[in-house]
Structure 1
């Protein structure tokens, strides 16, 4: 494995991590902003008011986003496995 192949694997891993986590992070951002706006307008500064709705919405979003996350992670894992097999067989295909 060359240095450029290793860098490609790390880049793909980081990109996959961003793609998988971005929808949940954006949902958390929107929910947090909505709750903060509600607290500012009503002047309620209760800690559970921010924690409980955000946890419930994040859990629900995760349930709905699991197929999307799973497909991206599966594609990435299959690509890594293919690269491992290619390294194991060598350039001439004789297995070592």
Structure 2
């Protein structure tokens, strides 16, 4: 196993991690920004107000993007296990 192979697998692993976590993080960011704007305009300074909309939004995004995320993860795992013979020796 060469250094280029290790770096390639590490790069692909980081890319898959970013792809899988991206939709959930972007959803939480957009909802947090919307709640912050709402709090600024209404002058409600309750810090716990953002938690419930974020949790609900991330849950909905997980339901919507879940099959795609699972497909990406399974494809990466399958490519690792199918090339397992390259890692030994």
TM normalised by structure 1 equals 0.86
Cα distance in 2, alignment partners of residues 45 and 87 from structure 1: 54
Shift of 1:65: 1.1
Shift of 1:47: 2.0
Q: State the aligned residue count.
A: 89
Q: Residue 93 of structure 1 corresponds to which residue in structure 2?
A: none
Q: How does 1:48-67 map to 2 (within 5 A)?
A: 48-67=48-67
Closer/same/farther in 2, CA of residues 39 and 82 from structure 1, 3 Å limit? same
Q: Deviations over 1:46-65 (max 9, x none)?
A: 12211111111111111211
- Superposed CA RMSD in Å reads 1.3
Shift of 1:74: 0.6
Larger Rg: 1
Shift of 1:87: 4.0
Moved more, 65-74 or 77-86: 77-86
> Is 1:7 aligned to residue 37 of structure 2?
no
The unaligned stretches of length 5 or more in structure 1 are 91-96
TM normalised by structure 2 equals 0.92
Q: Residue 80 of structure 1 corresponds to which residue in structure 2?
A: 80
Q: Deviations over 1:5-47 (max 9, x none)?
A: 0110100000000011111111111101100000000000112
